[in-house]
Amino acid sequence: MKNMLTALWHYRHFILSSIRGELKSRIARSRLGALWFVLHPLAQATIFALVLAEVLGAKLPNVENKAAYPIYLMAGMAAWGLFSEILNRCLNIFVEYGGTLKKISFPRLCLPMIVWGSALLNHVLLLLAITVVFLFFGHYPGIAWLVIPLGILLISLFSFGLGVMLGIFNVFTRDVGQVMGVVMQIWFWLTPIVYPYEIIPQNLRWLADVNLMVPLVRIYQDALLYNHWPDFSTLWLPSVVAMSMFMLSFVLFRKASPELVDAL
């Protein structure tokens, strides 16, 4: 693992320039440029506010603020978006760049690191845009927002580790990518993002209790909506799993690396 980290450090300029390139490609030839980072969540929040909160009357238990549901939804979507972007891109990154890996010699682990860095940058820009949207609703930042970097760290470690491991398996068995497409949809709806945790029937709450994304998404929801600190007693298991996944992904990558290019 030390050798892999050393190789990544030597190629840090390549990784950083690739991340910058990905960001520039998103706003290239766009007249509004980075303004789209604000317009997309603003449009999304407006739809949620008008359709779900006003038309369908969607509300959160014990919260009278009409903007509470759109804020709750956007907080959960932001956390899930970070998780799904890193996992899905790491899942396909080796297959996607198979031709490049065969032609150019560089540490293959650079690819998921570029994905990771790009997703983190996109997420920070999204959070800034969401903050603007929250101000539009008259919802101001609180002290508990300081816990969001912890949520970013745990979610990104978990999704990176799981994504790299599944990405390696996907090189040898493409069914993994197809299966994960279905799994991610089920996983999303099993996580209280669109609906609050409190409305889950008692006999089904064990599904939420074993879902590691529930406490991680609630970091965002508790902080951004309620200005509450998370229940740290619920975070020890996701923390252990996230760190374990991250470490295991390096071990698995080292073992699979000699056969990776031949399998592509």
Global pTM?
0.87
Structural domains counted in the chain: 1
What is the radius of gyration, based on Cα positions, of the chain?
20
The predicted pLDDT at position 52 comes to 67
Task: Note down pLDDT in tens along the chain; length 264 residues.
Answer: 677 777 777 778 888 888 888 777 776 666 666 667 667 766 776 676 667 666 556 667 666 677 788 888 889 989 999 999 999 999 988 888 777 777 766 777 788 888 899 899 888 888 888 888 888 878 888 899 999 999 999 999 999 999 999 999 988 888 888 899 999 999 999 999 888 888 888 888 888 889 999 999 999 999 998 889 998 898 999 999 999 999 999 888 888 877 777 776
DSSP 223: I
d(CA 24, CA 64): 41
Backbone angles phi, psi at 99, to 5 degrees: -65, -40
d(CA 220, CA 226): 10
Residues 6+ apart with CB under 8 A from 42: 129, 132, 133, 136
The predicted pLDDT at position 61 comes to 67
Containing structural domain, residue 137: 1-263
Which tens digit of pLDDT belongs to each residue from 221-257?
A: 999 988 899 988 989 999 999 999 999 998 888 888 7
The predicted pLDDT at position 160 comes to 94
The predicted pLDDT at position 203 comes to 87
DSSP letters for 32-69: SGGGHHHHHHHHHHHHIIIIIIIIS----TT---TTHH
With H, G, I as helix, E, B as strand and everything else as coil, classify residue 12: helix
CB-CB contact of 213 with 80 (8 Å)? yes
Give start and end residues of each alpha helix (H) in 58-197. 68-96, 98-103, 110-136, 148-172, 175-190
d(CA 191, CA 212): 9
Neighbours of 78 (CB within 10 A): 25
What sign for the dihedral angle of Cα 28, 30, 32, 35? negative
The predicted pLDDT at position 28 comes to 67
With H, G, I as helix, E, B as strand and everything else as coil, classify residue 229: coil
Angle at 118 between CA 92 and CA 98, to 5 degrees: 30
CB-CB contact of 151 with 224 (8 Å)? no
CB-CB contact of 101 with 260 (8 Å)? yes
Lookup: tokens for 173: 């068995």
With H, G, I as helix, E, B as strand and everything else as coil, classify residue 194: coil
